[in-house]
Amino acid sequence: MAQLATQARGLALSLRRHRRQVSFGGALDFPGRMFAAMPLAGEEATNTYSLLILGKPGGGKGTISEKILSDFPQFRHVSTGDELRQHVRNQTEIGREAKTYMDVGGLVPDKLMVKLVMNDAVDAIKRGQNLLLDGFPRTAAQARALDDKLGVDLCINLCVPDETIVERISDRWIHPASGRVYSYSYKPPKVEGLDDETGDPLVQRDDDKPESVLKRLKKYEEATMPLVDYYSKKGVLQTFQGTMSDVIYPEVKKWLDEKLDEDCAT
């Protein structure tokens, strides 16, 4: 039954009759909202689907994204932070250009970030996948720039109380050499303050200290919260409130199932 449900969701996505129409055979710098990629053998134009997930730092975007990808495998997770670091490591054209800004502590320009997303979007479409966007856009200006190339069909907004996030993140300690992460609330070390495997002392990153977390949350409110209003006005946003991902996600899944079923029926 689970396999049939997954196949049905995949069919729902492939039968979409609105929004974007993918046009194969072009280049990355294409007009309007048309994707373009080199066609596969016997491939014809098809519709695509993009899903954006919004949420505060430490608000559970990563956990919810993993659950979505498990239940909706036709989506490809495009985490711009991960993708950007990979491009820098691989010294691609995008990576080299981005590194010139990162080396001096500057922000990567919106135009380059859009190019990064579109580069990975084309790759996903070639593989018959749809997009789960995570980490971009971060501002309304970035959203408008992205809309010139790629629209957002659905937007999930995770609303977790600040006090929960501060408690969750400030409870996190790491082993610097390996990157192993511990949390005293749900994944404590066997011996307090020491790494399970090496016995080395654990440390708390400056970014994980309560005062730093509050600053990050304030920056999010100023820069990213306008996106909630932006996508709400477009009629594609749904907000999910709670303090635990395991409680929030069933509601997210129910909403996505309903939306994909609606698309299949149109």
Any known ligand binding at 59? Answer: yes
**Torsion sign over Cα 251, 252, 256, 257:** negative
Active site residue 138: yes
Any known ligand binding at 164? Answer: no
Active site residue 254: no
Any known ligand binding at 127? Answer: no
Active-site option among 33, 209, 216, 253: 216
Q: Checking phi first, is residue 134 left (phi over 0); if not, alpha (psi -120 to 50) or beta?
A: beta
How many Cα atoms sit within 13 Å of 219 on the Cβ side? 8
Any known ligand binding at 60? Answer: yes
Burial class of residue 216, CB neighbours in 10 A (0-12, 13-18, 19+): middle
Contact 89, 95 (CB under 8 A): yes
Any known ligand binding at 193? Answer: no
Any known ligand binding at 106? Answer: yes
The pair phi, psi for residue 240, each rounded to 5°, is -125, 125
Active-site option among 61, 76, 149, 168: 61
Any known ligand binding at 142? Answer: yes
Q: What is the C-alpha to C-alpha distance for residues 23 and 155, in angstroms, rounded to an integer? A: 24
Any known ligand binding at 138? Answer: yes
Instruction: Look up residue 205 and give its two tokens.
Output: 């990153």
Q: What is the C-alpha to C-alpha distance for residues 58 and 232, in angstroms, rounded to an integer? A: 22
Any known ligand binding at 57? Answer: no
Any known ligand binding at 137? Answer: yes
Helix (H), strand (E) at residue 95: helix 93-102
Q: What is the C-alpha to C-alpha distance for residues 140 and 231, in angstroms, rounded to an integer? A: 9
Residue type, 247: V
Any known ligand binding at 182? Answer: yes
Any known ligand binding at 179? Answer: no
Q: What is the C-alpha to C-alpha distance for residues 4 and 154, in angstroms, rounded to an integer? A: 23
Active-site option among 9, 16, 149, 172: 172
Any known ligand binding at 61? Answer: yes
Any known ligand binding at 63? Answer: yes
Q: How far is CA 169 from CA 67, 182, 195, in A?
A: 20, 11, 18
Active site residue 172: yes
Active site residue 168: no
Active-site option among 205, 215, 218, 254: 205
Any known ligand binding at 17? Answer: no
Active site residue 76: no
Active-site option among 76, 138, 149, 168: 138
Binding residues for AMP: 80, 85, 106-108, 135-138, 142, 205, 216
Binding residues for GTP: 58-63, 172, 181-182, 245
Active site residues per annotation: 61, 138, 172, 205, 216
Binding residues: 58-63, 80, 85, 106-108, 135-138, 142, 172, 181-182, 205, 216, 245
